[in-house]
A and B are shown apart, each in its own frame.
Chain A
Amino acid sequence: MPEPDNDRLEHFFRKAASKPDVTFNEEDWKKLEARLNAGGAGFVDAKKTGRKITTAVVVGTIVLFSSLLWVNSPYDIVSFSDVENPPPHVETNIAAKDEEGQSRQEAGLIQSNDDNKSNDVNRNQETEKISETKKTKSSTQGKVAERYKPSEVAESTDRISEDSHLTERTEPDQTIGQEDESATADIDDRTGKSKVEKLAGEPETFTDIEKEQIPRELIQISPAVAEKIKQKAVVELPGAEEEETREAEALVSEEHASDHKKHVATPRLSLLLSFAPDFSSTTISEYTDPGKAFGAMIHYHVMNRWSISAGVIKNYKRYSSAGEDYSPPKGYWKYYTNGIIPNSIDGSCSILEFPVMVQYTIASSGKNRWLAGAGASSYLMLNESYKYYFEEPNPGAKEGWDSKHTSRFLFNMLNLSIGYERQVVPGLMLGLEPYVKIPLEEIGWSNIKLFSTGASITLRYKILGQQNVSIPNRSRGPD
């Protein structure tokens, strides 16, 4: 028996090893799958990533909103519910402002001309404000002036003249001083009475007058209305002042009311809950029975018409399409459906969606608002389920595919929406927001481009008050 040499032995085993003949054992895969499901590689990775995305979105949102709150801190924060009862809120707000402003102003006004220069500058500013107050008086037909006590008017007039004297030192204020005088003259011309006469008997103090100037800063009377008032005042004869004043006030009220309508109270920070029947499809034209979407979003009103939002939406999507529209991994049909692509496939999936949106207020009127929004969403696919339909019998073919493991897709959907909202009770707005979601990449094991459309019913709950304070027209009260 010749003994084979080492080379022969090695050659024999190399040759045998190069021709493997091992059949696939499903049990081996099941063991691996069990390990993957139990928290092995890939599966855990996806879960961790999902948690990371969720955490990042939540933390990012909090940080973003905190930063914006900090940046915008000088803005007035007024309770949303206060819009329903504007006069008290305005007064309260103004009073709060005045608490710090008034003492400073009064201190500045009471000081003599011997004060240092910096105080003079402050006082110039105060003078400007007082001049503004006077202009307000003029434009509102003496509404404020009528409430002066004679002594206070005298005092304030002294202050104004004193301040006018001070304004002569600085050029910009000279104009204001001049306007102030003419404004005062206007009042006298129109009424034909002295201010002392007009204001007699009014119980309010100078502080109240100061309060008036703050809303004046926010109320913009159109030049047309101002001109109309002025013309009326000049043309009409003395003695008709009462009627004239009412007319003018009506005009101003109209102006204020329209201003108020234009600025729907928008909460600075709000929580938006939504529910939507969701129509999804792999192509734009084919839609099946609707799925559903529940969501919670935090909205931050950045400026007049712009707001940003982020949150989470739980989607249950249903879709149906031809087998060719699905693109599972290569070899899938070969392995599982005898190489035959199903004629149609019904699919469903659960998705956690993390949208980041920018919204623009197109128009607002009274309690109504119309919005348009755009943004992008990240998807965390929680599970998928597909059912195959073959025209011809296909024995041995799988009937479908289910998966309960997660997969994630970062900013893979473009969101576009338009919306309508109406305030139903203070602090609560009800809305309808039709949307469309356009895929930027394929998702799921079948690599589908999943279009979605629907209309969200939204409920917006105020967390922080509105950013822009609209000052409604104050009732004058009994004369």
Chain B
Amino acid sequence: MEEQEEYIRPLLEGCLRAHRMSQKLLYQEYYNYGMSISLRYASNRDEASEILNDAFMKIFGNLKKFDLSKPFKPWFRKILVNTAINHYHKKQREIQVEEMQNAKNESDTEKILSGISYQEVIGLLQKLPPAYRTVFNLYVIEGYSHEEIAGMLNIATGTSKSNLFKAKEQLKLILSDFFEADYAGT
């Protein structure tokens, strides 16, 4: 971790001086990590890159507030997750809650069964409605409690629990065959 931060530090110092090349190198350095997070919250790749770029805009604009002696990665992750949540709020106002039936597409299930990849896992998550997907990510991947999630998303704790339950049910349905093949008896 220290080595990584030592490597990042000159880039951050360059970004503080608004060096374009430093900005690009930092972006490249954290692109993979950042997209892996934003893809889980977004409905598609374009939206994921939008979330990532929004997060970087915040980072470049607020880097002065960041203590360079502290690890950058957790700060970056926090900003990215918050940006994803902001996108969720924005989307909630724009679109209606999607129906669950989309995930029941037979061809998708077939694809999963043939060998699931990272991209496909992300694809599965992206098929969930934003409300379910966001709660699932925050609870399962980020490790937040339902109370914290309720506070972040401005929903009731019960709603958070309910959304998580529905998300899992949907994913179970899609992955049932996969689990039968790979995890039966484990």
Contacts and interface: CB of A to CB of B under 8 A. Distances in A.
Contacts of A40: 57, 60-61
Contact of B171 (A9, A24, A328): A9
Interface stretch (A57-65, A90-98, A400-408): A400-408
A332 interface: yes
B110 to A, nearest CB: 15
A27 B168 CA distance: 34
Contacts, number: 142
Contacts of A406: 18
A46 interface: yes
A1 interface: yes
Interface string A1-19: 1111010111011101101
Interface in B24-74: 24-25, 27-29, 31-33, 35-36, 39-40, 49, 52-53, 56-63
Contacts of A75: none
Sorting the interface of chain A by its residue count into under 10, 10 to 19, 20 to 34 or 35 or more gives 35 or more
B86 to A, nearest CB: 16
Contacts of A23: 32
Interface string A316-331: 0000000000001111
Nearest to A16: B121
Sorting the interface of chain B by its residue count into under 10, 10 to 19, 20 to 34 or 35 or more gives 35 or more
Contact of B18 (A16, A35, A405): A405
Given A41-B58, A42-B23, A20 B49 contact: no
Given A32-B53, A46-B18, A1 B183 contact: no
A8 B21 CA distance: 43
Contact of B175 (A9, A45, A46, A405): A9
B11 A329 contact: yes
Contacts of A20: 32-33, 35-36, 118
A70 interface: no
A73 interface: no
Nearest to B11: A329
A45 B59 CA distance: 13
Contacts of A328: 21
B60 A36 contact: yes
Interface string B96-127: 00000000000000000000111101100100
Interface string A170-208: 000000000000000000000000000000000000000
A36 B53 CA distance: 10
Contact of B10 (A13, A35, A36, A329): A329
Contacts of A9: 168, 171-172, 175
27 contacts: A4-B175, A6-B168, A12-B121, A13-B171, A14-B140, A14-B141, A16-B118, A17-B141, A20-B35, A20-B118, A25-B31, A28-B31, A32-B53, A33-B20, A36-B60, A40-B57, A46-B17, A329-B14, A329-B19, A330-B11, A331-B28, A335-B28, A403-B21, A407-B18, A408-B17, A445-B19, A445-B22
Interface of B: 7, 10-11, 14-15, 17-25, 27-29, 31-33, 35-36, 39-40, 49, 52-53, 56-63, 116-119, 121-122, 125, 136, 140-141, 168, 171-172, 175-177, 179-180, 183-185
